[in-house]
Structure 1
Amino acid sequence: MTATTPIQDLSPSDAKVELARLADLLAQANAAYHTADAPDISDADYDALKRRNAEIEAQFPDLKRADSPSEQVGAAPAEGFSKVAHAVAMLSLANAFDDADIAEFDQRIRKYLGLGVDAPLNYTAEPKIDGLSLSLRYEQGELVQAATRGDGAIGENVTANARTIDDIPQRLSGAPDILEVRGEVYMSHPDFEQLNVRQGEAGQKTFANPRNAAAGSLRQLDASITRARPLRFFAYAWGALSDPLSDTQSGAIAQLKSLGFQTNPLTALCNGTDEMIAHYREIEQRRASLGYDIDGVVYKVDDLALQGRLGFRSTTPRWAIAHKFPAELAWTRLEAIDIQVGRTGALSPVARLTPVTVGGVVVSNATLHNEDYIAGRDNKGEAIRDGKDIRVGDWVQVYRAGDVIPKVADVDMSKRPEDAVPFQMPTHCPQCGSDAVREPGDAVRRCTGGLICPAQAVEKLKHFVGRAAFDIDGLGAKQVEQFHADGWIKEPADIFTLRERYGTGMQQLKNREGWGEKSASNLFDAIDVSRQVALGRVIFALGIRHVGDAAANLLAIHYGTWEVFSTAMRRAEEGNDAWEDLLSIDGVGGVMAKSLATTFNQDAEIASIDRLVAHLDIEDAKRPDADGSPVAGKTVVFTGTLEKMTRAEAKARAEALGAKVSGSVSAKTDLLVAGPGAGSKAKKAADLGIETLDEDGWLDLIGAS
């Protein structure tokens, strides 16, 4: 597998490896963009990376990771500012890249809401500003707080800086008592050019683009510097409200404008996808003359009541999507093909390129997915790229539309060197020399070395300390590689004995290159803090194949405690009650269940896990706040046809009320909701004496009739 293998060619094992790689790359990109204000990839590249991640997750839902880009918003707040917990999370948007994606978005909305294809459904469409998200909190009309997005839940307090921006009112007349206005801080092209001239004349750092300039200016510890920068602000959303602004998105935006905020004049109300796409085309044509940077168009369901029904995924609203502008292409020379070994042993070919600029970013590496992709075949043996293979020395077309590491899209056969030879995938691991085997039906070749393979060990440790896992300050990928090479850390449990083994006087660590007494002390303290950890993070951190972050959280919520989860996994065998209970979790399939059971029944694996857990204080899973809910803690199964809400909406409603939604009926089922057409599940529930309600009875029970 390579980083450019077509998704349809990925086996489950390939997909797992690819998702791990994407998670690491996107975490780095998020930190560079949101925390350091120094993005190392273009927006198009970032969007392409997220798109590839989402497409793989859609094809392999059981493989979704805890640190998946689809589960993350922004990056952790930077040091130097006080932290602000957002009353309403600042979520990111799902992305679309072509007209078909928009049609699919509309179809999903209609299906979720139970609307026919001809039913009227209005959307707002507005330019997507390329700036820095900001939330402004007003109380009794006074600006009391301004905060950046941060990681979506916690941002940075930049109130003093926000007060210096002319577009941000200090006082509002006629606003709700509590109003959080959200929008984008940006810099116009003329202002950006003048700022860089002034910076250059003063011998100071110039900025790469307006987005960097705006973000860097807003996040100055000295507000006087922000005041001297020409920042602007467009309002387009809201957070906490004491009273509604309107019953529609368009009406609420109009209300924000009447309160004194700048709103984008290109915002339009569209009836259906044809009008949405037409407005996208108009904005795209006017993009170069707008005087500020945009990278797409955002569509939102206009009716706020429908937005409420649609609700949210973990990090994105169901009722909105960003239609991004196309990525750029470039041609360059393929200098070499290197093989990387992932934490599951997958051998991934990576293209080493003559550096070339793509979308404003210098690219020197590209993913090549797997050996079939290099050979010009898909996973069914059919030709891709008209059957052209990829060879060292080739002139290749590179694009960044679905991955942080770009893809090789095409080969110019007219420029192929005469001595170029077909690429041969190694049959032995380049790290440990073990056999590299490609199993039938698998697109990836995998090292069989397991625990003796240093590449797998290091990658597993990197995963363990990743952002969605233990996320230990000061212990990232670079430090893991260093400590593993020195023999300090061989498995996760070793992390938690570092102070005991090397902390006395901290001499061994603080004398190392890049370390001092303060940084060493901070690392040991951060490790101690991380001992108290949420159950879902522990499950994800173990790096079990096919168990991503979303699945880890599903497992955590279902089992509640580490003891219950661990015991169940050790007992799970095909056909027994623990196995059936595992499969009953909505979102857990046979492949994931098999992977979990296998992991917890291997002596070496379970011994390593037990050594780790001995050092941890694992927090029980937090269930939804469902005080007073009649179904809190109950297991509910839906079957048959629901007529007043879709199955997806019913599931989301039940989970929000603290219920567990299962896909099968068992003795542990508390309630079956049966619509017309209910079959074997209804019969089994009756045989087991399980309470059964029709849809009206369910709505009455939860107070939604």
Structure 2
Amino acid sequence: MGKRVGWIVFLLFWSGVSLATCPVWPPARAEQEIARLQQQIIQWNDAYWRQGKSEVSDDVYDQLSARLAYWQRCFAPPVSLDEPAPPDTGTLTHPIAHTGVRKLADKAALTQWMATRRDLWIQPKVDGVAVTLVYRQGELAQAISRGDGLKGEDWTDKVRQIPSLPKKVNGPLANSVLQGEIFLLRDKHIQQQMGGMNARAKVAGTLMRQEASSALQGLGLFIWAWPDGPQDMAQRLQQLNKAGFVWISQYSQPVNNAGDVETLRARWFTAPLPFVTDGVIVRTAREPAGQQWVPGQGDWVVAWKYPPAVQVAEVKNIRFSVGRSGKIAVVAELDPVLLDDKRVRRVNLGSIRRWHELDIAPGDQVQISLAGQGIPRIDGVAWRSGVREKPEPPSSRFNALTCFYAAPECEEQFLARLVWLSSPQALDLTGLGEAVWRTLHQAWQFEHIFSWLTLTPQQLQHTPGISPARGQKLWHQFALARKRPFMRWVTALGTPLSQEALKAAGDHRWQQLLVRNEQQWQQLPGIGREKAAQLVNFTHHDVLQSLTAWLAAQGVSGF
């Protein structure tokens, strides 16, 4: 049941994209953007259905299709563009139409759907290519690709080469029509860890090749419908299993409520399975007569998909931030999207160079996933806006020796230096994040990054935005900072020296650092020629001479 369905309304039920408000576009741009995206989806469909090639992941395809449909609803173009259905190349008529599966957004929607239905069963939503099998007098007579749900391609010769497929059946199945999913056989596939692996496109490509392929030996078949078969599900499963269709009996279970579905959905997401899945199917045992089946009208079966590993998000803005070392980082601000249990609003793109390589502008649709430790990342651009208006990045005048002193152009780097010096690696000033430092700086107009040492208890207790009790605690933190070991103050300054090298140096006074030349610095672990030159330049710079002299005047140990 993992095929690309042309009914966009289904996609809107479950899509994770942020569609809170319509784009603020003039009519001409709306028409241009809709037409461009529609054309791209047509091209993807053509490559998929005619060539068996998937040029974009299913998650991205589904979400961009949903976004296209939403734009169409926003701007109501005079010509309907919402039919990215399979091309009409099928030559064989399905004896029973494929209905497709409505996707539900969440547990609440599933609860509502289940409330009025009885005798419900759950199955994995196997990710492959849908097919109709026609048995006549016990022989496999036809295998028809899903196509548009009414007509499909003749896949009989290829399907007969799938080893696990029963070529002969008897009893009630001798003259029957079955619908199922041809899938890629996997050994202990764990969906949560391994993802979709583009399995659907691999299966489609194998079946669409003209020449014989050994890859057919690696395919299996999951039967998910027996139109006009036994209405009793247990009897249906027993007969299918006896005929050799074993997967459906192993992976079909009765459920009473959405909680049961949620439990099995979570279990199958993390369990080793013989196929790739992208969610679960919930269906009623009793189904209408096969002649009543119509594409898009299968209200007795629904899907609850797994959250996509990749989300598509619209870039709202590009912002630049300057770190304490002067490096400029680029941040993409996004329409919020959910990834796992995280609401992602912004993603760090890294350097200006990488931003240029990615070529991201406001209005683009980007692919977001979670890297190690749940950190969101941009994997690439799924769709570029037709209007390319990129902001101008700040100049590269910032470096490791700028913005120790406050200045209007230095605000970001100056605050970054304050946040660093209060970190556990440096002076370990608990509870002093960027917001508190900004409040203190705005109230008392710091001259440099250590000006806070001169603040009195009275000043701190009367700082706008800080309570008297908090102000008193801050004063105690600042008083304790004066007693921190010398090496912590060296780190607080931003000296480009690792903790390992600091310990190996064993210095207890700033003057000891000043007398080291490049060769002496290189004797310490992890310091090469370039780093040694940086250290000599850093420690002898006029700004550092001024700051360390000020710390000496304040009685800070080691200066």
Q: TM-score, normalised by structure 2?
A: 0.48
Higher relative contact order (CA 8 A, sep 6+): 1
Q: TM-score, normalised by structure 1?
A: 0.39
